[in-house]
Amino acid sequence: MKKVVSLMAAFLIVAGTTAMAAEKHSHDSHDSHAAPAASKAQPKASKDKTPNPVKDEMVALNEAFKNLLDAILLNEPEKVELPFHNVHRYKEKTMAAAKKGEIKLPKNNDKFAEFEKLDEKFHHDLEGILAAADKKDMKALTAKTHKLFDACVECHSKFRNK
């Protein structure tokens, strides 16, 4: 787990730099292997007029989650982790915005503390997924991914969907 965390920290720096470069030169794409996920999430995020860190994080998360499903189906656990670096980068921004009270949830905004709790638990469970992928434990990876999906639905039904 320590290895995963420090790997992630190293990656956050690389992904952050890459994304900043991508923002400035969106046609310039000779960057690192973090580029595919970053460049897909980035344009959508920067086009929005009102900053919405939760949405930006979700776009990245959605991509990482779909990649996770493919990685399980194709038995390629080594491909799980990379797009999640992007998610973690956005999570940092979401947390900073939350501290400043800048987040407005589509539904139940007055229950923000509950949202934060769900989010924390979600990211904790995500660590478990990355650890299972790291160990190439497909059985655990699959079970944890089912659980994670339930958490997507739970949070959306409370804080997003009408």
Binding site for ligand HEC (CB under 6 A): 52, 54-55, 58-59, 61-62, 65, 105-106, 115, 118-119, 122, 148, 151-152, 155-156, 159-160
* Least separation in angstroms between CB 79 and ligand HEC: 16
* Least separation in angstroms between CB 147 and ligand HEC: 11
* Least separation in angstroms between CB 129 and ligand HEC: 10
Q: Which residues of 44-62 are buried (b: 16+ CB within 10 A; e: fewer)?
A: ebeeeeeebbbbbbbbbbe
Q: Which is nearer to ligand HEC, 15 or 54 (CB)?
A: 54
Q: Which is nearer to ligand HEC, 90 or 159 (CB)?
A: 159
| Beta strand ranges found along the chain (DSSP E) | none
Tell me phi and psi for residue 159, to 5 degrees: -120, 0
| Cα 20 from Cα 29, distance rounded (Å) | 12
- The answer to whether the beta carbons of residues 87 and 61 sit under 8 Å apart is yes
Q: Which is nearer to ligand HEC, 39 or 62 (CB)?
A: 62
| Cα 115 from Cα 106, distance rounded (Å) | 12
* Least separation in angstroms between CB 161 and ligand HEC: 9
| Cα 25 from Cα 101, distance rounded (Å) | 31
Q: Which is nearer to ligand HEC, 25 or 107 (CB)?
A: 107
* Least separation in angstroms between CB 154 and ligand HEC: 7
Quick one: tokens of 121? 């638990």
Q: Which is nearer to ligand HEC, 21 or 93 (CB)?
A: 93
